[in-house]
Chains A and B, each alone.
Chain A
Amino acid sequence: MALIFFLSLSLFIGGAVSSSKIKLSYGFGFAGSIGIFLIGCYTLVHPQPKILWAYPLLHNLVLTLSIDHLSAIFLVIAAISWMALALYSIDYSNFYAQKTLPLGFNISLVGMVLILTAQDGFTLMIGWEVMTIFAFLMMMGRDHPFEKAYRFLAFGEISTVFLLVGFSALYFTTGSLSFESMNKGSLFALVMISLGFIVKMDIVPFHGWMRGIYGEIPDNTAALLSAPVTLMGVYGLERIIPLLPNNETWDIILILLGAFSAFWGSLHAAATNKLKLLPAYSTVENNGIILAAIGFYALAGNFLSGNLHYLALFAQAASIVMAISHTFSKTLLFMSIGHAKEAYNVHTIDEARGVWSGVGRIPAFGIVISALSFSAFPPLIGYAGEWMVLETLFQSYRFPSTSLAFFSALAGVFIALAIGIIGFAMVKLIGYTALGYDHGRKSLKIPSRLMHIAELSLELILVLGGIALPFIIILLGFPHLLIGLLGIPAPLVLASGQPVFGVISPTFIGLIMLVLLIIPVILFVKTKKKVRKVNSWNGGVKLEEKEYFSAAAYSQILEHVLRGFYKTREIKDKTYRRIKVEDVLIRPMTALPRLVKKIGERVASVLMNGKISTYVTYILILFITVFIIGMIVM
């Protein structure tokens, strides 16, 4: 296994080295991802932990790479996304021929592999930095670098700082950076390390870097940032939560933060008219749901009673199913949107109408399937994941404390709202881009065979993943959550509580839908019913281009009703109007650079004013300060 592991890493590095031959480089990335996928699959079936590599750096710091069941789950999820992205990028490289893209892609995958197999804080942080810096390099894949990409790097470094402080605190308490020593860690370490992962998941208010960036970066980069990179944050939390000593207050904060993030993300996904900002905000929403589920898992895990223990496991399973759903759906959504965007050479939902007829069936179907999955449409895997999270939160009454029950139920309210609103946003995306009228617009003919294979593969996985949910639940290590009920044989029914609270069987729903689909189709084909088409009546006059209902108009009622959240403003003069909504939570993030710049200018005007005496004084003060700090440390 170690051989395949290092072979895969070598392939990624080979891909990076051969980045001048872009298609070959992505090919290396694809091959390396297959290796990682195989290792993950093998470990899922044989879940004994295996050490892949260990290097004693210091007497109490052994850098260790190993694979266990949790690593395997996330390696498989990430590898599927990487494979699809690598394949997609081979065709996609026709639009973006910069070498930095495949270089960044391959090395950031190396970073992610390190994160997923690290067994100590030091190795994890190396992987973390490698992933962040090379993902940033991918953002620079355009002809010219742009200033806003540095915001991503800044947030990446904030995440690293939290991890650094957290692991330092762990080392200070336990004298070790190994994950095994985490059970002796402090609350401070828990909070800091959790925050490090949360920042990477784009949870509010750490989503402030997204606006203005997603629309500019290549689509494969957007997919990587939104799906596998944020998945690393989920993995980090899943890894540390059972290890570090728990704290109920922090758990509740995680649940509420996650729920609010979900609500906020859905709200702004519904308002935006930008093609790639909508899925970006959907990441804030989905990762918020995942965070709430992880918080619930941690909270319920504190209690020893049987039904809360069951609930804790169910919440953990829910968070992982949601992570699977999000990673695959988001990868597919960005790939399909990117395909349409490049074929039409547009940026907004209104401009990208009619992908089905104008660009192609497969990317249109990709938008439909992924958006339906985010809208919790049965039997897709997104439906299973969101149902599981809601069922978890609905059982908050099982907590012995009223406050715990109240806050969990409150989170349930926010998440239920989020799921409703994101459905609204996704209907907009499906209705306008995938299935909308193409207005006779012609798309560019682009080589897209590999893009189609990548998109089609994820489309199949999303459909089959929902129907084969019991199989996935077993592989994830939660077979006891599956039962048989009301004539549906075990293990096809997923039970959310013990005693039974709620049940679903996506497999059964899938079968029913299949039968209900097949019979009408057979009848339709057999009877050869004639389809009678009529043009819609538009007052007796042909619709002009400017008379089509716009995507912005679709969201306007929501922006008006929820104007308190959106800070909706109308900008108007005699012949021009527009609605402006604002994400108020990114205000501090945009104000901070301005403040830093202002302070910098002020300081510069005082210290760097061209006077030799000022410089000498400055250097002298600096020297004395460093000297004093050095003395204290010594």
Chain B
Amino acid sequence: MKILIGIISTSKGDKLYVLDDGQEMLINDDGKNQKDIYGNYSFLKKHSFKINDYPVTGPGVFRFRYGPVTSGIREAGVFQLYTYGEKILRATIDLSWKYREMAGTMQMTSPEAGLLMAERVCSNFAMSHSVAFSQSVETALEIKTSLLTKNWRILLLEAERIYNHLYVIYKLAAAAAQKVLAAHLSALFEEALRLNEQLTGSRYLMGINSIGRLNNNPSGPAVQKAVDGYKNLANTFTRLYEHGLANYNFLDRLHTSGTLTPDMAESMGLTGPSLRACGIKDGLNTTTSHLISLPVITQSGGDALARMEIRAGEIVNSCQYLIDHLRTSDSWIDNEETQIRKDKTGGTGYSVVNSPSGALGYYLNVKNGNVQDVNPFTPSYIGMHAVSHALEGAIFTDFPFIFDSFGIHFTDASC
């Protein structure tokens, strides 16, 4: 299965950034039949900050503007919902309010300075951006990272997945007025952030990753404490989640809300939990010789409930994954040492990671030691198109369930 996640403009013409069963590749855009092959080709080519900008008119139809600064949306972004009262006829999403020209700012900086910027594109996905950016630079400069670094990056991406998924489920519970469940999930989210801090010194996993290496490898009592922490977190979450699933008021709000068919999800270029909720595997999980492969969970509903189920399953799996590997991390023998080519000061690199909400990739050039032509491809930009589509025909009260279930962010989408 080929999924188009971005289109890159280069001096030699446009290139399609495609995932083929999880393996990234660049294909020259010959302009022929691409619209037929990739359903998201047109909007990725246009890459507009106004998504689905086709106003609806008619007697009684008006535009309900939700944002840019309003309760319910934590970031500066606008949903222009065309409606005649309850039903959402069209959802135009304006990303421009959060546009900070991050990719532009990364140009002509050193890879290390660019990495700092990449980590700050979207703090919830800081590790994903950091790993994707650094791997792209490493590819460009032909830097070979050590096995230990690869292991820790994979583990920390799972740590990021855990707290993000907890946050999404907390948001869904809060939107359904499940106050007690939401409060407990919020506490677990905080616990996950503290575990991050215990492992890396940063609640949002910033500053630990670097080009070709980690700034410091977690070790010693902190790791063992984290093992206990993830064990508790998994147990508490499992208990809470089972309790939550017993509540029909909660499930009814998610069931059939924002349903996407497998065809829609695939043609939009969705990846991550949103695609897996439609029963399709994206093959994004990566592993090393030290680490066992994570099982991939899928659901068939394609709705907000299916997306939540995927995330819940992944929280437990990721916790178990971390518990199993953190326990043995002290005994890892690094037989692949970091190799840096001093003579290499330029090149092209790209890399994709499995972020909490799907494929997150970078394409960049390095010239004379400075990064250029940085093109980030985020799950949130494609996710916003999916949200816009899923909102059509829904009623207003379904809005938070649909939007939150995709686990995407304006900052990530508009970088």
Pairing of A with B: yes
A572 to B61, CA, bound (A): 12
Q: Please, which residue of chain A has its CB at the minimum distance from the CB of B89?
A: A577
Do the beta carbons of A553 and B84 come within 8 Å of each other? Answer: yes
Q: A538-B65, A540-B68, A575-B54 are in contact. Are A557 and B60 (CB under 8 A)?
A: no
> From DSSP, what is the main secondary structure of chain B's interface residues?
loop
Do the beta carbons of B58 and A577 come within 8 Å of each other? Answer: yes
Do the beta carbons of A546 and B67 come within 8 Å of each other? Answer: no
Q: Does A541 contact B (CB under 8 A)?
A: yes
Q: Does A576 contact B (CB under 8 A)?
A: yes
A549 to B65, CA, bound (A): 11
Q: Which residues of B contact A253 (CB under 8 A)?
A: none
Q: Which residues of A contact B64 (CB under 8 A)?
A: 547, 549
A2 CB, nearest partner CB in chain B, Å: 56
Q: Which residues of B contact A544 (CB under 8 A)?
A: 63
Q: Please, which residue of chain A has its CB at the minimum distance from the CB of B69?
A: A540
Do the beta carbons of B84 and A550 come within 8 Å of each other? Answer: yes
Q: Does A578 contact B (CB under 8 A)?
A: yes
A557 to B86, CA, bound (A): 6
B62 CB, nearest partner CB in chain A, Å: 5
Q: Does A548 contact B (CB under 8 A)?
A: yes
A280 CB, nearest partner CB in chain B, Å: 19
Do the beta carbons of A579 and B84 come within 8 Å of each other? Answer: yes
Q: Which residues of A contact B86 (CB under 8 A)?
A: 553, 556-557, 560
A538 to B86, CA, bound (A): 19
Q: How many residues of A contact B (CB 8 A)?
A: 29
How many chain B residues sit at the interface, stated as a range, is 20 to 34
- Would you give the 0/1 interface string for A571-590, flagging 1 where the beta carbon is closer than 8 Å to chain B? 01011111100000000000
Q: Does B83 contact A (CB under 8 A)?
A: yes
Q: Which residues of B contact A537 (CB under 8 A)?
A: 70
Do the beta carbons of A539 and B67 come within 8 Å of each other? Answer: yes
Q: Which residues of B contact A19 (CB under 8 A)?
A: none
Q: Which residues of B contact A549 (CB under 8 A)?
A: 62, 64
Q: Does A555 contact B (CB under 8 A)?
A: yes
Q: Please, which residue of chain B has its CB at the minimum distance from the CB of A350?
A: B60
Q: Does A373 contact B (CB under 8 A)?
A: no
Q: A553-B85, A555-B85, A560-B87 are in contact. Are A578 and B59 (CB under 8 A)?
A: yes
B90 CB, nearest partner CB in chain A, Å: 9
From B57, B59, B85, give the contact of A554 (CB < 8 A).
B85
Q: A539-B68, A539-B69 are in contact. Are A550 and B87 (CB under 8 A)?
A: no
Those of A526-562 within 8 Å (CB) of chain B: 537-541, 543-544, 546-557, 560
A592 to B59, CA, bound (A): 29
Q: Please, which residue of chain B has its CB at the minimum distance from the CB of A578?
A: B58
Q: Does B313 contact A (CB under 8 A)?
A: no
Q: A539-B70, A540-B68, A541-B65 are in contact. Are A578 and B60 (CB under 8 A)?
A: yes
- Would you give the 0/1 interface string for A193-207, flagging 1 where the beta carbon is closer than 8 Å to chain B? 000000000000000
Q: A539-B68, A540-B69 are in contact. Are A556 and B85 (CB under 8 A)?
A: yes
Q: Which residues of A contact B57 (CB under 8 A)?
A: 575-577
B247 CB, nearest partner CB in chain A, Å: 25
Q: Does A273 contact B (CB under 8 A)?
A: yes
Q: Does B66 contact A (CB under 8 A)?
A: yes
Q: Does B275 contact A (CB under 8 A)?
A: no
Q: Which residues of B contact A553 (CB under 8 A)?
A: 60, 62, 83-86
Q: Which residues of A contact B83 (CB under 8 A)?
A: 553
10 more A-B contacts (CB under 8 A) besides A553-B83, A553-B86? A539-B78, A548-B62, A550-B60, A552-B60, A556-B60, A556-B85, A575-B55, A577-B89, A578-B60, A579-B60
A-B contacts, 13 of them at CB < 8 A, read A537-B70, A539-B70, A541-B68, A543-B65, A546-B62, A547-B63, A550-B84, A553-B84, A556-B86, A556-B87, A577-B56, A578-B59, A578-B61
Give 5 closest A-B pairs by Cβ, nearest first. Answer: A552-B60, A556-B85, A553-B85, A540-B69, A578-B58
